[in-house]
């Protein structure tokens, strides 16, 4: 039984799949595997993958989508640890060993990333700032601070909340539910992944942003976390999701958004000075852009 299983759902991986697989296999510890879910691809990318004892493919009978594909992979593994990888990103050589060491202090670990694309100007690293477990739930209430494909964590925690749900932002929904359950989530400062920027990304579309912000399941997950860590119902959520999408806010919207900022600042008082400063700066930036647009 491998200690770690890395899950990669793919449909028509094209030219990026082989590079993503090779980078992940190079970074894998010896007691780990990469498991790919082929979501009924109609290109030859899956068939062109290298032969490797640490690689196996699970094939779907009909198109399932990312969340169902990931749940199929979750049910196919018996590893105590699970990680994620996307078919268009690149794992850096130290990724898994770096994340595994951090499990002494967390249950689910993420890292920062280096964004890259077809143009040199698209290459930029995420600011190398750690988000400690005590800060992470509050940071989630401001915005999703992590890339799904950097995740590594304990399999039983993800299964305990029911795995993935078929919502527009299945990763953010999962992080919210994990945090509400008490799972210790943490982002490491050192990047472990090259995150590819391209026009075909689902998250690049305005339609996806609108659906993700309004989805009732995500709203429910967000509400549960806000109640636990802020002690109030998040009446500011409609205004916050509008702010995240860059919409102009009315005077009526600004009042709940200011209450949100005050609630975050009040809850940050138990944090270290550096953590509180970083959290409040991020919150003020989002609120400030919305109120002064």
Q: What is the pLDDT of residue 167?
A: 94
Q: How far apart are CA 144 and CA 292, in angstroms?
A: 22
Q: How far apart are CA 167 and CA 216, in angstroms?
A: 9
Look at the chain and report how many structural domains it folds into: 2
- Which domain-ending residue is among 172, 203, 234? 203
223 and 197: one domain?
Answer: no
109 and 191: one domain?
Answer: yes
Q: What average pLDDT does the structure give for the chain?
A: 90
Q: How far apart are CA 273 and CA 260, in angstroms?
A: 20
Cβ atoms of 242 and 256 closer than 8 Å: no
Count of Cβ atoms closer than 10 Å to residue 80 Cβ: 13
> Which residue is listed with tokens 């990680």?
83
Supply the range of the domain harboring residue 136. Answer: 4-203
Q: Which residues of the chain have pLDDT under 70?
A: 120-121, 199-213, 245-248, 290, 292-293
pLDDT tens, residue by residue, 221-255: 999 999 999 999 999 888 887 777 666 677 777 88
48 and 178: one domain?
Answer: yes
Q: How far apart are CA 6 and CA 35, in angstroms?
A: 6
What is the pTM assigned to this prediction?
0.92
H-type helices in the chain, by residue range? 14-27, 66-75, 95-102, 136-142, 155-160, 170-181, 206-214, 216-230, 237-244, 251-267, 273-291
126 and 29: one domain?
Answer: yes
């Amino acid at each position: 039984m491998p200690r770690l299983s890395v899950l990669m759902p793919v449909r028509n991986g094209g030219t990026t799949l082989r590079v993503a697989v090779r980078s992940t296999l190079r970074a894998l510890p010896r007691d780990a595997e990469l498991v790919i879910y082929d979501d009924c691809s109609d290109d030859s990318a899956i068939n062109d993958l290298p032969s490797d004892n640490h690689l196996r493919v699970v094939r779907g009978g009909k198109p399932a989508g990312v969340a169902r594909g990931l749940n199929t992979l979750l049910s196919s593994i018996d590893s105590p640890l699970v990680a994620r990888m996307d078919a268009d990103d690149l794992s850096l050589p130290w990724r898994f060993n770096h994340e595994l060491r951090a499990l002494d202090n967390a249950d689910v670990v993420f890292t920062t990333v280096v964004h890259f694309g077809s143009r040199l100007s698209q290459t930029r690293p995420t600011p190398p700032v750690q988000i400690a477990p005590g800060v992470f739930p509050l940071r989630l209430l401001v915005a999703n601070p992590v890339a799904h494909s950097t995740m590594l964590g304990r399999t039983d925690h993800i299964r305990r909340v029911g795995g993935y749900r078929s919502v527009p932002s299945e990763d953010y929904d999962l992080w919210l539910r994990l945090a509400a359950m008490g799972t210790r989530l943490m982002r490491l400062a050192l990047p472990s992944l090259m995150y590819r920027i391209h026009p075909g990304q689902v998250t690049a579309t305005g339609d996806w942003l609108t659906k993700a912000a309004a989805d009732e399941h995500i709203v429910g997950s967000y509400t549960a976390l806000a109640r636990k860590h802020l002690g109030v119902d998040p009446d500011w959520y409609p205004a916050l999701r509008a702010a995240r999408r860059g919409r102009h806010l009315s005077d009526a919207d600004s009042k709940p958004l200011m209450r949100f900022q005050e609630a975050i600042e009040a809850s940050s008082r138990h944090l270290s000075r550096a953590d509180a400063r970083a959290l409040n700066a991020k919150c003020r930036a989002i609120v400030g852009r919305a109120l002064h647009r």
